[in-house]
C-alpha cells in the first residue's frame, strides 16, 4: 500500500513460527454446464504446490444440479506466514463415482497463495480453463477464517473460613481446576499457588485459554477442588464444588460470587454439616488473545520498504567481484534478498506499491552523497510496483550512480519511522511497517542507528537486515536484540526487539525459501506484541 505523509493532527506471544489452522469456504458462481439433460454436479478439489508439484489436499462434497454451489465441506490448511503457500482450486462436474479426476468434466480452476486469501479475508476471481481462458462466466469465491479459539479467561479467586487441616496451625490452601476428559474422568487444567497459614486465602489472578479450561464451552461443568498443601505430597482434601464458566462470569468486582466448598465424606457423616468454607470468585473476565492472523484477517496491511547499500565497499557493479554485479542468471545477493522477503510480504499489501531507497551513493547531476534516495530517481514518488518493480528500478539505477560512503543506516530508519508515527494517529491496527535493509558491512553511524532503532521500537515497525558478502557483521548482531536489550547512546532501552539480522552467506547453498523463513520468523510475534502493547484489537474483530 502506498503511503504519503498527512499533516499531523493536533492534539507472549505465541510460538516462534506462526502456525495455525485456516478454514477455507468455497462457493462457485455461474459454472459451466457440462450436463446435457440437467445442470452440472460440481465438486471442488484443493491442491497445494509441494516441491514444484501440485498435490491434492482435499475435496468437497458434490453439489447436485447446481451451477452456483456453496460447498458445506470446508478445507482446513496449516498457515505459515514465512512461506509462499501456493494453492489451486479446481472444479469438476461429477460424472461417475470414480476418484480419478480425469473421469470428470473440468469446470475451471483458480490459483493463488494462501497469503493472498488471508490478507483479503474473502476473494472472488474468474475461473480459468487449461488454456488460460475464462471458463465461461464461472467465478469462485474463497473466504478464510482462523480456526483457533483465541479467548482467554482471567479468574481472581479467594477463600473464607476454610477447614483447618493442620494440627498446630492454619491450612495452606490451593485450588485445582478440572474439566471432564474424553474418557469421562476429570482432567487437571490449572493449579493455583499455595497460600501459607490462612483460612481466608486470596490467590493471585491467573489467565488460561478458554479451550484449556472448558473446551471453549462456557456451559460445561468444571470441578474446583481445594486442598491443604503438605510438603510430603500427601495434600489434605478440604472440599470441592462444580460450576461453569458462564456461572463464574456472573461475578462482578462489586458483587463477587460465593460458592460453598463441600467435603462429601463429611457431608454424609455429619447431620449439621454446612460446608468446609466458601470459595469466592472475585472476578471472571473472558477476553481475546489476538493472533497475527487475527490482525491480518482484520485488515492490517504490511507496509514494505527496501533500503539498499550502494557504498564503495560493494565494488564496481560492472566487475564480477562486486556484490552488485548482476550475473548471467540475472541475479546477485541483493536481488536474492529482495525476492526472498518481498514475495512473501507483497501478499499482505493491497496495492503492492513499495518505496525502494538507496544510501551511500553520489547522485547525478551534482554528485552529492545521499543516504536516503529513491532508486527510481523520483523523490516525490519512490514507489515501485510489486517486487518486480523494485528489481527493475534497482537494475536501472546501477549505471547512473557512483558508489561512495559512509554506511549510514539512521536516515532510512528515521524515514520509515516518520510514516509509522503517522499510523499511530489512526488508533487502529491498520498498518505495520517493515524495513528491509540490505548491506555489505560495517555501520558508520552506530550511535545514531542505535538511537533510531530504540525510537522505532515504540512504533508499528520492524527492521530486517540482510548482510551480503563476507564482512564482519558483529555490529548487526548487536542491533538484533535477541540476547540482550538494545540501548540508545542516551541509555534509553528499546521497548521491544524489532531488528532481525541474517547473514546471506549462511543461506548461499540452501533452497531460497529458507532465507525467507529465517528472516521472517520473528515478524508475526513482533506485530502481535506491538498491537497488544498498544491495546489495539484487530480492526474488524468481533465484540466479546
pTM metric for this prediction: 0.79
List beta partners, residue 56.
47
75, 23 Cβ separation under 8 angstroms = yes
Judge if 179 and 242 occupy the same domain: yes
Whether 304 shows a pLDDT value over 80: the answer reads yes
Whether 45 shows a pLDDT value over 90: the answer reads yes
Q: How many domains does the chain have?
A: 3
* pLDDT at site 184: 83
Q: Any idea what the CATH number is for the domain that residue 391 is in?
A: 3.40.50.410
For residues 75 and 47, what is the distance between their CA atoms, to the nearest angstrom? 11
Residues of the chain above pLDDT 90, percent: 75
Q: Is residue 480 part of a domain?
A: yes
Judge if 431 and 309 occupy the same domain: yes
- Domain encompassing residue 268: 151-288
* pLDDT at site 430: 94
Residue 155 exposed, middle or buried by CB count within 10 Å (0-12, 13-18, 19+): buried
Instruction: Tell me the average pLDDT across 317-339.
Output: 94
* pLDDT at site 35: 74
Whether 8 shows a pLDDT value over 80: the answer reads no
List the Cα angle 187/192/194 in 5-degree steps: 130
Judge if 258 and 194 occupy the same domain: yes
Instruction: Tell me the average pLDDT across 87-100.
Output: 90
401, 393 Cβ separation under 8 angstroms = no
Which residue do the cell numbers 458445506 mark?
72
Q: Is residue 432 part of a domain?
A: yes
Q: Is residue 278 part of a domain?
A: yes
| Average pLDDT of the chain to the nearest whole number | 90
Residues of the chain above pLDDT 70, percent: 94
> CA distances (Å), 134 to each of 108, 111, 127, 131, in order?
8, 13, 6, 9
* pLDDT at site 541: 66
Instruction: Tell me the average pLDDT across 289-293.
Output: 91
* pLDDT at site 1: 38
Q: Which of 396, 367, 363 shows the shortest CA–CA distance to 379?
A: 363
207, 153 Cβ separation under 8 angstroms = yes
Whether 15 shows a pLDDT value over 50: the answer reads no
For residues 451 and 34, what is the distance between their CA atoms, to the nearest angstrom? 66
* pLDDT at site 139: 98
pLDDT bracket for residue 181 (50, 70, 90): confident
* pLDDT at site 222: 96
Judge if 111 and 185 occupy the same domain: no
The pLDDT tens digits of the residues spanning 452-493 come to 999 999 999 999 999 999 988 887 877 776 667 889 989 999
Q: Is the peptide bond before 365 cis (omega within 30 degrees of 0)?
A: yes
* pLDDT at site 3: 36
Judge if 340 and 457 occupy the same domain: yes
* pLDDT at site 167: 66
For residues 49 and 473, what is the distance between their CA atoms, to the nearest angstrom? 36
What is the CA 140 to chain-centroid distance, rounded? 26
pLDDT bracket for residue 275 (50, 70, 90): very high
Judge if 443 and 341 occupy the same domain: yes
Judge if 445 and 517 occupy the same domain: yes
Question: 340: Cβ–Cβ under 8 A, 6 or more apart, which residues?
Answer: 512, 513, 515, 516, 519
Whether 10 shows a pLDDT value over 80: the answer reads no
Q: Is residue 7 part of a domain?
A: no
Which range among 229-233, 297-301, 334-338, 387-391 shows the weakest confidence by mean pLDDT? Answer: 229-233
Residue-wise over 499-537: b if at least 16 C-beta within 10 A, else e?
bbbbbbeebeeeeeeebbbbbbbbbbbbbbbbbbeeebb
Last residue in a domain, options 115, 147, 179: 147
In this structure, what DSSP letter does residue 300 have? P
Last residue in a domain, options 125, 147, 169: 147
* pLDDT at site 476: 82
Q: Any idea what the CATH number is for the domain that residue 73 is in?
A: 2.60.40.150
Q: Is residue 11 part of a domain?
A: no
The pLDDT tens digits of the residues spanning 186-221 come to 988 999 999 999 999 999 999 999 988 998 999 999
Judge if 385 and 438 occupy the same domain: yes
Judge if 123 and 165 occupy the same domain: no
* pLDDT at site 86: 97
Which residue do the cell numbers 482462523 mark?
146
Instruction: Tell me the average pLDDT across 266-295.
Output: 92
pLDDT bracket for residue 34 (50, 70, 90): confident
Q: Is residue 12 part of a domain?
A: no
Judge if 312 and 256 occupy the same domain: no
Whether 496 shows a pLDDT value over 90: the answer reads yes
The pLDDT tens digits of the residues spanning 352-379 come to 999 999 999 999 999 999 999 999 999 9
Residue-wise over 362-400: b if at least 16 C-beta within 10 A, else e?
bbeeeeebbbbbbbbeeeeebbbebbebbbbbbbebbee
> CA distances (Å), 276 to each of 230, 238, 241, 379, in order?
18, 7, 11, 76
Whether 6 shows a pLDDT value over 60: the answer reads no
> CA distances (Å), 451 to each of 22, 159, 173, in order?
39, 50, 50
Instruction: Tell me the average pLDDT across 502-527.
Output: 90
What is the CA 514 to chain-centroid distance, rounded? 18
* pLDDT at site 542: 57
Which of residues 10 and 133 earns the better pLDDT score?
133
Pairing state of beta strands 353-359 and 301-309? parallel
Judge if 121 and 202 occupy the same domain: no
Last residue in a domain, options 288, 323, 352: 288
Q: Is residue 314 part of a domain?
A: yes
Judge if 136 and 156 occupy the same domain: no
Q: Is residue 8 part of a domain?
A: no
Whether 76 shows a pLDDT value over 60: the answer reads yes
Amino acid at each position: 500500500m502506498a503511503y504519503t505523509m498527512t499533516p499531523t493532527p493536533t492534539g507472549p506471544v505465541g510460538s516462534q513460527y506462526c502456525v495455525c489452522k485456516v478454514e477455507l469456504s468455497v462457493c462457485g458462481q455461474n459454472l459451466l454446464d457440462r450436463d446435457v439433460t440437467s445442470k452440472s454436479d460440481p465438486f471442488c478439489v484443493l491442491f497445494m504446490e509441494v516441491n514444484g508439484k501440485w498435490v491434492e489436499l482435499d475435496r468437497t462434497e458434490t453439489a447436485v444440479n447446481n451451477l452456483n454451489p456453496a460447498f458445506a465441506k470446508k478445507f482446513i490448511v496449516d498457515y505459515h506466514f514465512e512461506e509462499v503457500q501456493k494453492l489451486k482450486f479446481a472444479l469438476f462436474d461429477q460424472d461417475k463415482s470414480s476418484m480419478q479426476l480425469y473421469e470428470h468434466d473440468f469446470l475451471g480452476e483458480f490459483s493463488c497463495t494462501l497469503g493472498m486469501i488471508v490478507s483479503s479475508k474473502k476473494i472472488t476471481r474468474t475461473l480459468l480453463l487449461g488454456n488460460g481462458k475464462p471458463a465461461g462466466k464461472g467465478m469462485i469465491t474463497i473466504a478464510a477464517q482462523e480456526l483457533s479459539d483465541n479467548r482467554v479467561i482471567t479468574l481472581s479467586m479467594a477463600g473464607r473460613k476454610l477447614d483447618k487441616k493442620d494440627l498446630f496451625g492454619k491450612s495452606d490452601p490451593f485450588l485445582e481446576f478440572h474439566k471432564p476428559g474424553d474418557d469421562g474422568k476429570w482432567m487437571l487444567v490449572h493449579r493455583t499457588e499455595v497460600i501459607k497459614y490462612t483460612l481466608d486465602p486470596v490467590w493471585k489472578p491467573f489467565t488460561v485459554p478458554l479451550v484449556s479450561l472448558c473446551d471453549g464451552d462456557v456451559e460445561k461443568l468444571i470441578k474446583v477442588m481445594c486442598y491443604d498443601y503438605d510438603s510430603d505430597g500427601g495434600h489434605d482434601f478440604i472440599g470441592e464444588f462444580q460450576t461453569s464458566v458462564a456461572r463464574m462470569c456472573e461475578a462482578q468486582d462489586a458483587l463477587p460470587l460465593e460458592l460453598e466448598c463441600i467435603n462429601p465424606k463429611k457431608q454424609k457423616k455429619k447431620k449439621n454439616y454446612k460446608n468446609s468454607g466458601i470459595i469466592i470468585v472475585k472476578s471472571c473476565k473472558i477476553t481475546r488473545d489476538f493472533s497475527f492472523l487475527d490482525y491480518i484477517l482484520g485488515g492490517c496491511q504490511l507496509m514494505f520498504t527496501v533500503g539498499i547499500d550502494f557504498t564503495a565497499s560493494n565494488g564496481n557493479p560492472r566487475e564480477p567481484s562486486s556484490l552488485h554485479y548482476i550475473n548471467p542468471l540475472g541475479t546477485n545477493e541483493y536481488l536474492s534478498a529482495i525476492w526472498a522477503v518481498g514475495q512473501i510480504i507483497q501478499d499482505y499489501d493491497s496495492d503492492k506499491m513499495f518505496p525502494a531507497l538507496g544510501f551511500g551513493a553520489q547522485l547525478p547531476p551534482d554528485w552529492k552523497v545521499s543516504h536516503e534516495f529513491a532508486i527510481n530517481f523520483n523523490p516525490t514518488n519512490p514507489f515501485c510496483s510489486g517486487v518486480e518493480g523494485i528489481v527493475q528500478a534497482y537494475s536501472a539505477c546501477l549505471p547512473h550512480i557512483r558508489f561512495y560512503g559512509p554506511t549510514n543506516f539512521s536516515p532510512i530508519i528515521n524515514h520509515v519511522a516518520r510514516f509509522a508515527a503517522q499510523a499511530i494517529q489512526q488508533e487502529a491496527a491498520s498498518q505495520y511497517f517493515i524495513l528491509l535493509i540490505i548491506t555489505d558491512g560495517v555501520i558508520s553511524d552506530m550511535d545514531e542507528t542505535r538511537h533510531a532503532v530504540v525510537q522505532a521500537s515504540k512504533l508499528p515497525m520492524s527492521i530486517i537486515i540482510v548482510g551480503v558478502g563476507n564482512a564482519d557483521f558483529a555490529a548487526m548482531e548487536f542491533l538484533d536484540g535477541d540476547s540482550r536489550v538494545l540501548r540508545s547512546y542516551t541509555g534509553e532501552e528499546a521497548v521491544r526487539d524489532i531488528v532481525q539480522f541474517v547473514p546471506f552467506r549462511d543461506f548461499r547453498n540452501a533452497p531460497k525459501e529458507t532465507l525467507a523463513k529465517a528472516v521472517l520468523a520473528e515478524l508475526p510475534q513482533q506485530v502481535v506484541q506491538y498491537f497488544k502493547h498498544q491495546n489495539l484489537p484487530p480492526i474488524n474483530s468481533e465484540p466479546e
